[in-house]
Amino acid sequence: MKIILLEKKRKKLYAELELATGGFSEANFLAEGGFGSVHRGVLPDGQVVAVKQHKLASSQEDKRRLLVYEYICNGSLDSHLYGRQREPLEWAARQKIAIGAARGLRNLHEECRLGCIIHHDMRPNNILITHDFEPLVGDFGLTRWQPDGDTSMETRVIGTFGYLAPEYAHSGQITEKADVYSFGVARPLLEEYAIEELIDPRLGNQYLENEVYCMLHAASLCIRRDPHSRPRMSQVLHILDGDMVMDTSYISTPSYDVGNRSGRLWSEPLQRQHHYRGPLLEESLESFSGKLSLDK
Q: Where in the sequence numbering do the catalytic residues fall?
A: 121
Tally of residues, the chain = 296
10 Å Cβ neighbour count for 14?
15
Residues 6+ apart with CB under 8 A from 192: 81, 200
Three state DSSP letters for the chain: CCECCCCCCHHHHHHHHHHHCCCCCHHHEEEEECCEEEEEEECCCCCEEEEEEECCCCCCCCCCCEEEEECCCCCEHHHHHHCCCCCCCCHHHHHHHHHHHHHHHHHHHHCCCCCEEECCCCCHHHEEECCCCCEEECCCCCCEEECCCCCEECCCCCCCCCCCCHHHHHHCEECHHHHHHHHHHHHHHCCCCCCCCCCCHHHCCCCCHHHHHHHHHHHHHHCCCCHHHCCCHHHHHHHHHCCCEECCCCCCCCCCCCCCCCCCEECCCHHHCHHHCCCHHHHHHHHCCHHHHCCC
Considering only CA atoms, which of 93, 60, 57, 91 is closest in space to residue 74? 93
